[in-house]
Amino acid sequence: MRLGVNVDHVATVREARQGRQPDPVSAALLCEEAGADQITVHLREDRRHIQDRDVRVLRELVKTQLNLEMAPTDEMVSVALSVRPDTATLVPEKREELTTEGGLDVLGGGDKVATAVRRLREAGVRVSLFVDPNLDQINESLRIGAEAVEIHTGRYADAAGSTERDEELHRIADAAKLAHRVGLEPLAGHGLDYQNVGPIARIPELTELNIGHSIVARALAVGIAEAVREMAALVRFHRAGVPVG
């Protein structure tokens, strides 16, 4: 299982003073050295954390894979076509949200999402869609030409108790199974941390987890390289466990 590390929140700290430090690019390179298989950044339309220059420099320096999270808008598609990340992950976006609140509505997205997928794929950019663990959304992602789906794990992470958490876990497992069966690569992310990642890592169809906030938070205590090493070790440990479902 691959581990993608999202360095958005390093940029969040930098933008609090609108200065130069801490540098998300430097953090990303440390993450790679510590075992990250991918660097993920979300270039939001309001540029609240990651900036265009960060994405351009990361494209030059990242040696693993660069995953650009982005809204399916003309502006963001143009940025992606210029930068050419290894993967473009299309996500929903609202100015007032603190973080991404749910999956992309592929079914209700009309031609907007499909057009973004087509333009990116024609340029040779791999396209993933960030979707809720909903089987209809998975099938529609396949229909419009996506190559992967990142299954939203936020409701699992925020579950109030074990019953709700188990229900969400099985929804995620079922979505991953369907995606794998129809030929979409199943990925997962959002809200995962050192306490809740285990059951997700044990879903056999999942091939990649994208984790950011908890790693950056842990880095305040142990440094970002050690935080990545700890998460990578947890993922490897749980991956060898009993499959879910």
Per-residue pLDDT of the chain (245 residues; tens, 9 = 90+): 999 999 999 999 999 999 999 999 999 999 999 999 999 999 999 999 999 999 999 999 999 999 999 999 999 999 999 999 999 999 997 655 555 568 999 998 778 999 999 999 999 999 999 999 999 999 999 999 999 999 999 999 999 999 999 999 999 999 999 999 999 999 999 999 999 999 999 999 999 999 999 999 999 999 999 999 999 999 999 998 645 54
Among this protein's residues, is 42 annotated catalytic?
yes
> From the candidates 9, 49, 152, 190, which is the catalytic residue?
190
| pLDDT in the model for residue 109 | 79
The confidence score (pLDDT) of residue 100 equals 58
Say what the pLDDT of residue 110 is.
76
pLDDT value of position 101? 63
Domains of the chain: 2-239 (3.20.20.70)
Catalytic residue from among 9, 42, 49, 152: 42
| pLDDT of res. 244 | 53
| HEC assignment per residue over the chain | CEEEEECHHHHHHHHHHCCCCCCHHHHHHHHHHCCCCEEEEECCCCCCCCCHHHHHHHHHHCCCCEEEEECCCHHHHHHHHHHCCCEEEECCCCCCCCCCCCCCCCCCCHHHHHHHHHHHHHCCCEEEEEECCCHHHHHHHHHCCCCEEEEECHHHHCCCCHHHHHHHHHHHHHHHHHHHHHCCEEEEECCCCCCCHHHHHCCCCCCEEEECHHHHHHHHHHCHHHHHHHHHHHHHHHHCCCCCC
Catalytic residue among 32, 69, 140, 168: 69
Active site annotation includes 69: yes
